């Protein structure tokens, strides 16, 4: 993957505008950067969960992943894990 190489993608203008309005963002770049940051955080949270879940019961693992799926962020997951320690 090229470092900082610009790319072009085709996305419906209506689709972009709908998300921009919903998130109250002014530019396409803000929307794309926000979506990418959220996805990076989601991936990071799942990695933290996988590392932390070693030694947890299947029921505890399920509740942690349910918290993430319900829109929890890394802080909320960390709080759940901290209660375990």
Inside any domain, residue 5: no
Query: Which of residues 65 and 73 earns the better pLDDT score?
Result: 65
Inside any domain, residue 78: yes
Q: pLDDT tens across 2-15, in order?
A: 578 888 889 899 99
Inside any domain, residue 1: no
pLDDT at 85 over 50: no
The per-residue pLDDT for 78 is 63
- Secondary structure of 35-80 as H, E, C letters: HHHHHHHHHHHHHHHHHHCCCCCHHHHHHHHHHHHCCCCHHHHHHH
Do residues 53 and 61 touch, judged by C-beta distance below 8 A?
A: yes
For 44, half-sphere exposure in the C-beta direction (CA atoms, 13 angstrom radius) is 10
Inside any domain, residue 30: yes
Inside any domain, residue 6: no
Which domain range does residue 76 map to? 13-84
pLDDT at 60 over 90: no
Say how many domains are in the chain.
1
Q: pLDDT tens across 7-55, in order?
A: 888 989 999 999 999 999 999 999 999 999 989 988 888 887 777 767 7
The gap between the terminal CA atoms of the chain, to the nearest Å, is 39
Inside any domain, residue 7: no
Inside any domain, residue 3: no
pTM tops 0.95: no
């Amino acid at each position: 993957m090229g470092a900082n190489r610009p790319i072009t993608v085709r996305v419906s203008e209506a689709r972009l505008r709908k998300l921009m309005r919903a998130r109250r963002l002014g530019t396409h770049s803000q929307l794309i950067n926000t979506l990418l940051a959220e996805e990076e955080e989601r991936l990071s949270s799942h990695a933290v969960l996988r590392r932390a879940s070693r030694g947890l019961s299947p029921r505890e693992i399920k509740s942690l992943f349910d918290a993430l799926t319900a829109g929890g962020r890394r802080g909320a997951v960390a709080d759940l894990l901290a209660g375990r320690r």
